[in-house]
Amino acid sequence: MKEKNPWHTPVTIIITVIGVIAIVALVTVAVLQNRPLTQKYKYGIVLDAGSSHTALYIYQWPAEKDNNTGRVEQTHSCKVKGPGISSYASEPWKAGESLKDCIEDAKRRVPEKRHDETPLYLGATAGMRLLSIEDSSASNKVFQAVEQSLQKSPFSFQGARLLSGQEEGAFGWVTVNYLDDRLKQGLETTGALDLGGASTQISFVSNNYDGSESPKNSVTFRLYGNDYNLYTNSFLCYGKDQALRLTLAQQTQSGPRSILDPCFHPGYNETVTYSDLYDSPCVSDRKPQGAPVTFTHLGQGNSSQCQDVVKSIFNFTHCRYTQCSFNGVFQPLLQGPFGAFSAYYFVMNFLNLTDTSIPLEVVRKRLSIYCETPWDQIKQRHPDVKLKYLAEYCFSGTYILTLLTKGYNFTSESYPNIKFIKKIKGSDAGWTLGYMLNLTNMIPAEAPDSPLLPHSGYVSIVTVITVLLFVLLIFSLRPFWPRCSKQPQII
Ligand SMILES: Nc1ncnc2c1ncn2[C@@H]1O[C@H](COP(=O)(O)OP(=O)(O)OP(=O)(O)O)[C@@H](O)[C@H]1O
C-alpha cells in the first residue's frame, strides 16, 4: 500500500510546469535580448609622417559602438624604415616606396573583409612644414608621391595633409586625455608636452586663459558635453634635432675649423660639413660667410656651459603679452598635471630620469655627471644604443630641462607635475589617435545617454523579479492547494 503525495495532483503539477517554463523562457529572453553581441571590430590607420621618421598606427574599436561610446585602442604600430618623408625631397617617389612595407604589415593585421572600409590617413608634421617653407614645390611632389602610393592600398585612403603646429598640439592633448578617460568623465585635464625632431608643442587648459589674449593660441572643443578652452603652441625649430642645429649654429658663427662643444662628452670627435649643418630653414640664414667646408666637432662635457649655450637659443627679451614662454610667445600660467612624450620620454628614460619626484637639483647634478663622462666609457657602457642618439643624450637632456624650466617656466614645485610617458593603456601618446578620433567623429560633443543598468545587472533584476512573481503566484493559488488529510490515503 502506497501513501499518495498531495503534491502529485494534476493542478499542482500543471502550475509547477507552467511556472518553470515561464521562468526559463523569461530569463532566456532577457539574456538573449541583451547579451553583448560577439565582439566585432572596426579599424582605422594613421601614418605619422614626422621629421625623423614615419610610423603607422592601427586602431580598433567595437563595431557596434563606433559613433560614440566604443573605446578606441591601438593594436599595432609599424616603424617605416629610413628617414622621414621630407628627406626625400630630391627623389619624391622614394617617399611613397618607403611606406610599402608598413602598408603590407597593416594588410596582414586588419581582417581582409574590413580593408575597404578602414580609413587610412597620413598626417605630416614639422619636417614637411620646414620643407614647404624651404621649397613648396618639392613638398607638393612628396605629398603627391605618398598619395599615389597610399591610393594603391586596399584601405579607404582619406588623404595626406600637412598638420598645423596648433593641430599637432591640440590632437596630442586630445589623445592623452581620451586615453586617461578624463574627457568622458569631465575630470581635470592633463596638459600635453610633445618633443619631436623639428618642433615641440605645449598644450594645456588654464583657468586664466579664455582665448582673448593671443587668440591664435586658443583651440576650443566641446566634448562629451564639456567645453574646453585649450591653450596650445608649437615651436617650429625647437624639436630636439633642430634645437641641436641652433646650438651648433650659435657656436659656429665665426666659421671656425673646430669647436669645443660643452654638450658633448669629452673625447667626442666628429667631422661636420657646414653645408649639412646649415641645410635647414631654422639656421640657413645664419650660415657664416667664408667658412671652410667642414669643422671638427669636439666634446668638452661641461654641463653648466652646456646650459648657457642651450639657453642662448631662446629669446627672453621681448613679450607684448601679460606673460610669455620664449621668443615673444604668450603663455598663461601653467596648470595641472602634464604628460611629456615622444623625445621627452626617449631621452629621460635613457638617462634614468623619468622619476619627477627626484628634486630638479638632483636631476641636474646627475645629468652633469653623465655629461662629464668620457665618450669612450659611454660607448662601452651602451654598446647597443644607436651612436647618433648616444652622442646626443647629454645635449638632449640639457635641452629638455632648459626648455621646461627656462622656456615654459616649470619650477622645482611644478616639475613633479610632469609625467614622462610613452604609452597610456597600450596606446602611444602622440597626435595620431586624437586626429583619427576627430576625423571619424568618434568623440561626441554631447554626453551619450547610457543605459541605467549594465547588462548583467539587468538580467539579475529580471530573474529575481520573475522568481518573486512565481512564488507570489503559487501563494495566490493557495485555495487550490491539495489538503493533507490526517488519515493517510490508501491506494
Ligand atoms: N630611442 C631614442 N633615443 C633618443 N632619441 C630618439 C629615440 N627615438 C627617437 N628619437 C628622436 O626623438 C625625436 C622625436 O622623435 P619623434 O618620432 O617623436 O619625432 P618626429 O615625429 O620625427 O618629429 P616632428 O614631430 O618634429 O616632425 C627625433 O629627433 C628622433 O630622432
Write out the chain in H/E/C secondary structure: CCCCCCCCCHHHHHHHHHHHHHHHHHHHHHHHHHCCCCCCEEEEEEEEECCCCEEEEEEEEEHHHCCCCCCCEEEEEEECCCCCHHHHCCCHHHHHHHCHHHHHHHHHHCCHHHHHHCEEEEEECHHHHHHHHHCHHHHHHHHHHHHHHHHCCCCEEEEEEECCHHHHHHHHHHHHHHHCCCCCCCCCCCEEEEECCCEEEEEEECCCCCCCCCHHHEEEEEECCEEEEEEEEEEECCCHHHHHHHHHHHHCCCCCCEEEECCCCCCCEEEEEHHHHCCCCCCHHHCCCCCCCEEEEEECCCHHHHHHHHHCCCCCCCCCCCCECCCCCECCCCCCCEEEEEHHHHHHHHCCCCCCCCCHHHHHHHHHHHHHCCHHHHHHHCCCCCHHHHHHHHHHHHHHHHHHHHHCCCCCCCHHHEEECCEECCEECCHHHHHHHHHCCCCCCCCCCCCCCCHHHHHHHHHHHHHHHHHHHHHHCHHHCCCCCCCCCCC
**Statement to judge: residues 43 and 28 lie in one domain:** no
- pLDDT tens track for 320-355: 999 999 999 999 999 999 999 999 999 999 999 999
Q: Which atom of ligand 1 is nearest to the CA of 342?
A: 18
Nearest CA to ligand 1 atom 19: 196
Nearest CA to ligand 1 atom 14: 196
In a domain, 125, yes or no: yes
Rounded to whole angstroms, the Cα distance separating 349 from 355 reads 9
199 is in an annotated binding site: yes
In short, whether 126's Cβ falls inside 6 Å of ligand 1 is yes
Residues 287/246, Cβ–Cβ less than 8 Å? no
Question: Which of the following is catalytic: 97, 117, 168, 188?
Answer: 168
In short, whether 196's Cβ falls inside 6 Å of ligand 1 is yes
**Statement to judge: residues 54 and 122 lie in one domain:** yes
In short, whether 127's Cβ falls inside 6 Å of ligand 1 is yes
Q: Which atom of ligand 1 is nearest to the CA of 129?
A: 27
What is the reported pLDDT for 30? Answer: 67
**Statement to judge: residues 19 and 83 lie in one domain:** no
Prediction pTM value? 0.87
What is the reported pLDDT for 55? Answer: 98
Complex-level ipTM: 0.99
198 is in an annotated binding site: yes
Nearest CA to ligand 1 atom 24: 196
**Statement to judge: residues 29 and 124 lie in one domain:** no
**Statement to judge: residues 17 and 76 lie in one domain:** no
Tens-of-pLDDT digits for all 491 residues of the chain? 455 665 667 767 776 777 777 767 766 766 666 665 567 999 999 999 999 999 999 999 998 765 656 799 999 999 999 999 999 999 999 999 999 999 999 999 999 999 999 999 999 999 999 999 999 999 999 999 999 999 999 999 999 999 999 999 999 999 999 999 999 999 999 999 999 999 999 999 999 899 999 999 999 999 999 999 999 999 999 999 999 999 999 999 999 999 999 999 999 999 999 999 999 999 999 999 999 999 999 999 999 999 999 999 999 999 999 999 999 999 999 999 999 999 999 999 999 999 999 999 999 999 999 999 999 999 999 999 999 999 999 999 999 999 999 999 999 999 999 999 999 999 999 999 999 999 998 998 888 776 666 666 666 776 777 778 767 777 776 776 666 555 555 44
Q: To test the ligand 1 pocket, which listed residue (282, 346, 387, 432) has its Cβ within 8 A of the most ligand atoms?
A: 346
**Statement to judge: residues 46 and 130 lie in one domain:** yes
In a domain, 114, yes or no: yes
What is the reported pLDDT for 222? Answer: 95
**Statement to judge: residues 49 and 125 lie in one domain:** yes
In short, whether 53's Cβ falls inside 6 Å of ligand 1 is yes
What is the reported pLDDT for 461? Answer: 73
**Statement to judge: residues 123 and 21 lie in one domain:** no
In a domain, 414, yes or no: no
Tally of domains within the chain? 2
Q: Which atom of ligand 1 is nearest to the CA of 124?
A: 27
How remote is the CA of residue 69 from the centroid of ligand 1, in Å?
A: 33
**Statement to judge: residues 134 and 107 lie in one domain:** yes
In a domain, 96, yes or no: yes
Q: To test the ligand 1 pocket, which listed residue (47, 51, 347) has its Cβ within 8 A of the most ligand atoms?
A: 51
In a domain, 141, yes or no: yes
In a domain, 225, yes or no: no
Domain assignment of residue 56, given as a range: 38-162
Nearest CA to ligand 1 atom 31: 52
In short, whether 52's Cβ falls inside 6 Å of ligand 1 is yes
**Statement to judge: residues 16 and 132 lie in one domain:** no
How remote is the CA of residue 449 from the centroid of ligand 1, in Å?
A: 41
What is the reported pLDDT for 244? Answer: 98
In a domain, 242, yes or no: no
How remote is the CA of residue 385 from the centroid of ligand 1, in Å?
A: 14
Q: Which atom of ligand 1 is nearest to the CA of 199?
A: 26
In short, whether 347's Cβ falls inside 6 Å of ligand 1 is yes
| 168 annotated active-site | yes
Q: How far is CA 84 from the centre of its chain?
A: 19
Q: Of the residues 162, 181, 211, which one is the last residue of a structural domain?
A: 162
C-alpha cell at position 279 = 641645410
Q: Of the residues 146, 162, 178, which one is the last residue of a structural domain?
A: 162
**Statement to judge: residues 89 and 30 lie in one domain:** no
Q: Of the residues 131, 162, 193, which one is the last residue of a structural domain?
A: 162
What is the reported pLDDT for 491? Answer: 44
In a domain, 5, yes or no: no
- pLDDT tens track for 243-297: 999 999 999 999 999 999 999 999 999 999 999 999 999 999 999 999 999 999 9
What is the reported pLDDT for 465? Answer: 74
